[in-house]
Structure 1
Amino acid sequence: MRRSIATVSLSGTLRQKLEAVAAAGFDGVELFEPDFTHFPGMAGALGRMAADLGLTIDLFQPFRDFEAMPPGLFARSLDRAERKFDLMQAMGAPLMLCCSNTSPLSVDEPELAAEQLHALAERAARRGLRVGFEALAWGRHTARYGQAWDIVRRADHPALGLILDSFHTLSLRDDPAAIADIPGDKIFFLQMADAPLLSMDVLQWARHHRVFPGQGDFDVVGFYEQVLLAGYSGPLSLEIFNDMFRETPNRRTAVDAMRSLLYLESQVRQRLATRAAAARPDARAADVLQVRELAEPPAAPEFAGVAFIEFAADEATAPGLGMQLRQLGFRRAGRHRSKAASLYRQGDIAVIVNAEPASFARSRFELHGPSVCALGLRTPQPQAAQDRAVALRSQRHRSPLGPGEVEVPAIVSPGGNLMHFVDERLGPDGLFAADFVPDEDDDTAPDAGLRRVDHIALGLSLEQYDTWTLFTRAVLGLSLAESQELADPFGLVRSRAAADVARSLRLVLNASLSSRTLTARTVGRRGDGGVHHIAFASDDIFDSVARLRAQGVAFLPISPNYYDDLPTRFDIEPALLARMREAGVLFDRSADGDFLHIYTRAAADEGLFYEVVQRIDFYDGYGAANSAARMAAQAQAQT
């Protein structure tokens, strides 16, 4: 399997882009012509530089406004093409992308388009080059792959083939099923791009909002499946126009790009295996699996909840974190056998405060202050979970161990925090019994009725939002809900929830579109961001709130107007409404159940806050309807 990426997909100079692409393990690049135009060297030098990095230049693009033009313009375009062919030969690029015409001077005559493309292909063939014709979604007369294939078929030249781009097909909601009927050897190149579902002009959508496969909402898996069923055997490539990618460090983007392709391949492999096992009349699925080297990482892990949440601290800040946890009803349950770390427990929740001077947590503390530095996730197959993550380009991590301590497979998640995969067979206490000495004499903090971690919300920079979207979907195997935009008094916050099927692991990804929101300020304190707030589940939220208030926990005050408005939106019993008003508890309802929740005040120096929730029946959301009330109250509490 050859994997490629268009240079337009990354930030930096052309040399920097090629270095990042090579470091991420790609085989080749699509050279975007403006990147070469501004390159301080000749075409031959570029070709040698790419070769020195182990890369091939698979495609030169784009060649515009060529087919179905009046004779005078057609002749000039042939001259243009010859100059591009000169460059391609010098740099070693075998294929040129010719995109469908957008000029108002072009005519809607497929036969003329085919005739002129035949002539272009003939010129290319004389030099040992090929031409691929691509339908732009905004092409003046040719916008769909079926139209482009009809023109290529009419032209009937061995050096002319079809270039397919998932964005141009899926953005028009064109059915890719007929791709499987195109001869595979006439598909010269494949470009993949995903995108969020947006209602906007397709050109603006294409130029600013494409993302890597797995980061958007298109059925890119189904598209790629049809291309393979056609018998395509060329490179799998990415062409992404995205404003944020042009700002993001290119090495990070290149890793995301490779992860997206490996994930895409693995998903298509599963589909093809299912087709082959079903013994469908066409045997193409089995044939493809035999000839294509599609990525096959270990299966996505199953999860059984959050094993622990670890905070980074130091000797000065650890006592304050411990006091905060005691206020929340946690008892200190032990001290680590070989590190300066304390364990706090309540219900099935475990929180570790790590102040070890030489540990990973300390390095995170020095960067970001007291903050969550690691998560432990329970899974029945921890080693396979780590192996999958590494196969999908996450970095393996190994912590130093003392005598008798349990080795837990771990990786570095996007942004630099650790994610540990804890063996479910250890049970709720096995890991802590091995690694911690029980604190027999501790302490008198009363339990607050918090039973488990309901969800963990991350505050991310915009450039990390898509990275985490792909990470949660590809590496962790979580399903993602639709993206929402939440109203903060100082801007909008983009939010998307991710969860496993059993709902034992829930993550909420938040990124601010403004620099003034609480989310943005939290991210600003922590570089690319991190845990924004932690939600604990209670079986009786009113009892938990009463206990927590008695222990000095300060909750976020909610406007009385909120409670006056609730009966206009929901049919709520007056007694329940009165209890919510008195306790400061928020309410949401779906077709599947009700949701009660309340937030603590955010610590002024940390930005982190906590949420207590109670799910009734089968409510599956996060109270997004109350986000504006929460963010307004937080803004007012800080004034």
Structure 2
Amino acid sequence: MTPLLIATCWTSAGDAAPLREDESSPIPLAERITAIAQTGWNGIGLVHADLIHARETIGYEELSKIIHAAGIDIVEVEFLNDWWTAGEERAASDRLRAELFEAATALGARHIKVGAGLTENPLPLATIASAFRDLADEAADAGIRLALEATPFSHLRTTPEAVEVVTSSDSPAAGLMIDIWHTYKTGLSHEDLWKVVPIERVFAVEVDDGFDRTNTTVLDVVDDTIKHRTYCGRGDFDTASFIRRTIDAGYQGPWGVEIISDEHRRTPVVEGLRTAHATTLECFERAAQLV
């Protein structure tokens, strides 16, 4: 098992995190790209704030040249949210959508990661599904693929809900992002996961690790996902077994490695990238021994 590994945006961003007022990385983009290449990764993930900074400074054409010159062949961009909203929220989301579509097209991105917000009161599934069908149709017209992710604090709290939304669309752009953190935290076992997820609709898979915690509120879960993820094989998730079951299900694409934690943000970028890469490969080696 020699996987293609994507250093997702937070894995290489240094002291940057989701939901901060400014999500941009303090690490110069050229330095990040060099660090990712030198530590063995095949792909890079970039968040909206960093993409816009790149567009306004060096431009996407130059950014693409730097990425590919470093030997990095896979690009993903993120994170599209609020596509189901109306009014001012929708206007802001539409601007975000246009900017992510522009970046994805210019950089030849494999997919755009799509979320379902942060809420304690999920909307009816039919409302989300209708909005996603429209979004997927627009993405298909632009030649872009969408990887929709269920998270336990969003309008799509479970993987089966995300499956229902994605399969309600016949668009070739409509796909799933499967992240071990979110499947584990919602109680979906690695074996049962592939009984409910159609592998042909899976556009992306992410691995990481974490810990068994008692989370009683949405904010507790959000805090856990942003502060306490850990490197593959160093937590309670049995990442090797997840990898084995995912491969057995037929997944053949690249694997995002998404490490989001206070510990990782304090770690020098090259050291953190090297540890994330090495521990992920160790889990693939263990996965190869499983049946």
TM-score of Structure 1 vs Structure 2, range by shorter chain: 0.7 to 0.9
CA contact (8 A) 2:81 2:93 kept: no
Note the 1:132-147 alignment, pairs <5 A: 132-139=147-154, 141-147=155-161
Match of 1:95 in 2: 111
Higher RCO, 1 vs 2 (CA within 8 Å, ≥6 residues apart): 2
| Secondary structure of 2:61 counterpart | helix
Structure 1 stretches lacking a partner, 5+ long? 275-639
| Secondary structure of 2:283 counterpart | helix
CA contact (8 A) 2:42 2:74 kept: no
Separation of aligned partners in 2, 1:188 and 1:107: 24
Residue 222 of structure 1: CA displacement?
Answer: 2.5
Residue 47 of structure 1: CA displacement?
Answer: 1.4
AA of the residue aligned to 1:247: R
1:16 aligns with 2:57: no
| Secondary structure of 1:212 counterpart | coil
1:34 aligns with 2:53: no
Match of 1:261 in 2: 280
CA contact (8 A) 1:4 1:235 kept: yes
Match of 2:234 in 1: 215
Find 1:175's aligned residue among 174, 178, 189. Answer: 189
Q: What whole-Å deviation, never above 9, does each CA across 1:566-621 have from its counterpart, x for those lacking one?
A: xxxxxxxxxxxxxxxxxxxxxxxxxxxxxxxxxxxxxxxxxxxxxxxxxxxxxxxx
Residue 227 of structure 1: CA displacement?
Answer: 2.1
Pair 41,23 (structure 1): closer, same or farther in 2 beyond 3 Å? same
Match of 1:129 in 2: 144
Residue 73 of structure 1: CA displacement?
Answer: 5.0
Match of 2:212 in 1: 197
Separation of aligned partners in 2, 1:4 and 1:158: 23
Match of 1:158 in 2: 172
AA of the residue aligned to 2:271: R
CA contact (8 A) 1:162 1:187 kept: yes
Residue 246 of structure 1: CA displacement?
Answer: 1.9
Larger radius of gyration: 1
| Percent identical | 24
Separation of aligned partners in 1, 2:140 and 2:209: 33
Residue 60 of structure 1: CA displacement?
Answer: 0.5
| Secondary structure of 2:264 counterpart | coil
1:83 aligns with 2:94: no
Structure 2 stretches lacking a partner, 5+ long? 15-26
Match of 1:53 in 2: 70
CA contact (8 A) 2:232 2:279 kept: yes
Pair 15,197 (structure 1): closer, same or farther in 2 beyond 3 Å? farther
Residue 33 of structure 1: CA displacement?
Answer: 2.4
Residue 57 of structure 1: CA displacement?
Answer: 4.2
Residue 170 of structure 1: CA displacement?
Answer: 1.3
| Secondary structure of 1:244 counterpart | helix
RMSD: 2.2
Q: What whole-Å deviation, never above 9, does each CA across 1:426-481 have from its counterpart, x for those lacking one?
A: xxxxxxxxxxxxxxxxxxxxxxxxxxxxxxxxxxxxxxxxxxxxxxxxxxxxxxxx
Pair 76,23 (structure 1): closer, same or farther in 2 beyond 3 Å? closer
Separation of aligned partners in 2, 1:53 and 1:216: 32
Separation of aligned partners in 2, 1:198 and 1:108: 26
AA of the residue aligned to 2:255: L
Residue 72 of structure 1: CA displacement?
Answer: 7.5
Residue 79 of structure 1: CA displacement?
Answer: 4.7
Find 2:5's aligned residue among 3, 12, 35. Answer: 3
Q: Which has the higher helix share?
A: 2
Separation of aligned partners in 1, 2:63 and 2:255: 22
Note the 1:335-350 alignment, pairs <5 A: none
| Secondary structure of 2:161 counterpart | helix
AA of the residue aligned to 1:33: H
| Secondary structure of 1:245 counterpart | helix
Separation of aligned partners in 1, 2:263 and 2:63: 26
Q: What whole-Å deviation, never above 9, does each CA across 1:162-219 have from its counterpart, x for those lacking one?
A: 1011111212333333332333221000111101333451111110111110122212
Separation of aligned partners in 1, 2:97 and 2:185: 29
| Secondary structure of 2:263 counterpart | coil
When the two structures are superposed, what TM-score results if normalisation uses the length of structure 1? Answer: 0.40
AA of the residue aligned to 1:147: E
AA of the residue aligned to 1:251: V
Match of 1:505 in 2: none
Q: What whole-Å deviation, never above 9, does each CA across 1:286-337 have from its counterpart, x for those lacking one?
A: xxxxxxxxxxxxxxxxxxxxxxxxxxxxxxxxxxxxxxxxxxxxxxxxxxxx
When the two structures are superposed, what TM-score results if normalisation uses the length of structure 2? Answer: 0.84
AA of the residue aligned to 2:285: S
Residue 118 of structure 1: CA displacement?
Answer: 1.5
AA of the residue aligned to 2:6: S
CA contact (8 A) 1:194 1:220 kept: yes
| Secondary structure of 1:4 counterpart | strand
Q: Which has the higher strand share?
A: 1
Separation of aligned partners in 1, 2:76 and 2:185: 23
Q: What whole-Å deviation, never above 9, does each CA across 1:206-252 have from its counterpart, x for those lacking one?
A: 10111110122212222223322321111111111112222222221
1:44 aligns with 2:55: no
Separation of aligned partners in 1, 2:249 and 2:70: 32
Match of 2:21 in 1: none
CA contact (8 A) 1:43 1:91 kept: yes
Find 1:227's aligned residue among 226, 246, 252. Answer: 246
Note the 1:625-636 alignment, pairs <5 A: none
Separation of aligned partners in 2, 1:160 and 1:236: 18
Residue 28 of structure 1: CA displacement?
Answer: 0.6
CA contact (8 A) 2:118 2:153 kept: yes
Separation of aligned partners in 2, 1:70 and 1:237: 32
CA contact (8 A) 1:14 1:36 kept: no
